[in-house]
Amino acid sequence: MSSPPIIDVVEDSLAKLNSAQRAAVLHFEGPILVLAGAGSGKTRVLTTRIARLIEHHEVRAEEILAVTFTNKAAGEMKERIAKLIGKAPAGMWVGTFHAIGARMLRREAKLVGRTSGFTIYDEDDSLAVVRRIMERLRISPKEWTPKALRSAISGAKNALVTPEEYAKLAQDPLSKAASLIYDQLEPTLRESNAVDFDDLLVLPVRVLQKNPDRVAAYRAHFRFLLVDEYQDTNRAQYEFVRLMAGSDGNVLVVGDDDQSIYGWRGADIRNILDFERDFPTAAVVRLEENYRSTPQVLDLANAVISENTGRRGKTLRATLASGDAVTQVATLDERDEAEFVADEIVVLGAGTRALDYKDIAVLYRTNSQSRSFEESFRKRAIPYRLIGAVRFYDRREIRDLMSYLKLIGNPADNEAFLRAVAVPRRGLGDTTLEQLQTIAREAGRPLLDVAGEPSKLLSLRAAARQALAHFSALIHRYQLSAADTAVDELLRNLVTEIRFDDHLKAEGPEARDRLDNVQSLIDAAADTVEDDGGEVGLTPLAHFLQRAALNSEEQQKAGADSVSMMTLHNAKGLEFPAVFITGLEDGLFPLRRAQDEPEMMEEERRLFYVGITRAMRTLYLSHARSRRRNGETMQSIPSSFLKPIPPELVTQRGSFKLRGSTRAVPTFSQTPSARRPGQPLQRAAWLDEAEASQDAPSFFKGERIRHARFGSGTVAELSGSARDAKLTVDFDDSEIGRKRFVLAHAQFERGFE
């Protein structure tokens, strides 16, 4: 029996579309904007439209240009079209903006001062060029890192700002330095017959802008242009589409203004909001039927995004049956939040509707939030994988600071010495450190010991001897203070003294995330102090280092069945049966810097919407009443994104610890008789900044108290104030003896005889 005609396959696919999808596919000539809501089947629309152009309208494949945002999406599009038309769409250009730009530049190389065999520089190559220009201009990498300068130039390129325009706009020191590099970058690349990654977007636009004949040729060749994820286009990509299509060209763009979340890297939501400005005759089709999520999830998503004013407007409608109610969870703090999520994952994996781990995703605003979840999942042996990030204790800035702590705890740790002494830079090159290692090896002594004795290092430069002596003195000073300083306090002091924040800020746009990770490390140290009942001394440092080492060493098998953990940005395009959106607190999500910027606040809300619409049937929204920031427990306010949600759309829950807790900062009476013997010190639900600044005395010398772990004792000494207040206690048990505590983390009862 002969197989049915290929055209029947395309028409059969068309018949399975809903009315809005069918309208987008059947539209033939002229511009069209397809507003495709989350889970609304936009890929099916794109592939069916291309197949129908080829099979029904007899458009040749080579007359079609399809632009995607990932190579994976391009590959999938080709495969699906091939299945529909029964053969590969030979000659069709389909790929990312960068891939298509590279293909065009091979043809037009002479117009941009290259040959067709030009090299495309990767990030390392591009940074090497920037370094070479910096050396030529005598711009010190100690002042601005090549990465920071290249990032500034990249932003200018993608906004189609020329070197001349950028120089006029440069106001701050970084921009002024970048403008000098930018001015010489293009001639330097041209000399090497090379382009960088940004040039793959910028140079094709320049070709089209300056050569009307090439514009006409490309428009004649590519009769139909299709662009996916149009809401994420930047200025250069937008201009490319506009020039290739013309004002009345056959261009179809698909996108969702409610999912435009990349403004921070140059995407301009106005490209999709103002589509009809550039294409006045454009038709507009809205895809609002959602095939992914339950009505409960979509009702919540619609309620959240309706608060935004800068949107085209659409309402997602569920095609699935009713499902689980959305759960909003209040927890005590970030550790309690992580424990709740872990416990709930165990519950989701049981029963008649049990989910596999791979069906579950934990989403958060910043990568620094992963630490609490990583630790909680390890305790419960829940396999997980981090998407788009490395494990917390493997992150470079964390390993740098941990090397300092390791060296403070163990002065003979030569590996820790070599890492710590190099961050921040101290003018010590590889040759100097190799000489130091030779001297130390011959003397049979640790590197730190030898570094502190300039008389042993006469073969080194005077500046190197001085730098090593200063570093050695720094470590020795912290070794002494570690005996009576909490680990989080020690870390805070260290970060300040070595100007680690400035070191990270000089690296460019990644600094913000790295600084968040540093704060999270300080929070982890504060957790250790609290776990030890507030005791300070060398033991907590050793305990913290041991716990961190074990956490880092445990390898999580990121196999097929693992919980996915990622930022909300990395969740774009994915879907899971169950989703946890965590950290929904003002200042964290939305970010604090968005509070006074309406456009940024709307993008943050769109990011929340993206997170919600990743969930297929089960969704949790969690926030903590308090959260550690820089080692200090601070009161948190539930996210403003939660306020407009109608109460009937969520089920409210509180974690077990929150319901039963009276934890907080001790608020002590100055009169010891104000409390009954054995009465626990009153602790509020969280620490706020006003209480943290109070200097009222907490105890008095000679007072009898009891510690939950060490038993009864007598207050021997008091020092410090507010969160830095410390208490020295002589315990009745002679084996315990005298111990010192950070008061904010200690749990004492007073009034014992």
- Rounded distance, CA 555 to CA 536, Å? 30
Catalytic one among 11, 43, 531, 724? 43
Number of Cα atoms under 13 Å in the Cβ half of residue 228: 26
Catalytic one among 21, 42, 337, 432? 42
Catalytic one among 229, 299, 344, 374? 229
Cα–chain center distance at 494: 25
What angle is formed at CA 407 by the lines to CA 402 and CA 412, rounded to 5 degrees? 140
For 748, the enclosing helix (H) or strand (E) is: strand 748-750
Catalytic one among 228, 232, 488, 530? 228
Active site residue 603: no
- Rounded distance, CA 197 to CA 204, Å? 12
Q: How far is CA 78 from CA 84, 98, 164, 553, in A?
A: 10, 17, 41, 42
Burial of residue 102, with CB atoms counted within 10 A of its CB: 0-12 exposed, 13-18 middle, 19 or more buried: buried
Whether the link from the prior residue into 644 is cis, omega within 30° of 0, is no
Dump strand ranges (E) for 473-586: 535-536, 563-567, 576-581
Tokens matching residue 170: 């440069």
Q: Calculate Rg over the CA atoms of the chain.
A: 31
Active site residue 259: yes
Instruction: State whether residue 713 is helix, strand or coil.
Output: strand
DSSP secondary structure string for all residues of 6-17: HHHHHHHHHHTS
Active site residue 42: yes
Catalytic one among 47, 233, 237, 259? 259
β-bridge mates for residue 285, sequence order: 34
Helices 199-210 and 212-221 pack at an angle, to 10 degrees, of 110
- CA proximity to 563, closest of 348, 347, 389, 358: 358
Active site residue 229: yes
β-bridge mates for residue 706, sequence order: 712, 749
CA dihedral (162, 167, 171, 176) positive or negative: positive
Catalytic one among 80, 214, 614, 750? 614
Instruction: State whether residue 647 is helix, strand or coil.
Output: helix
- Rounded distance, CA 78 to CA 197, Å? 24
Active site residue 406: no
Tokens matching residue 90: 């030979």
Active site residues: 42-43, 228-229, 259, 614
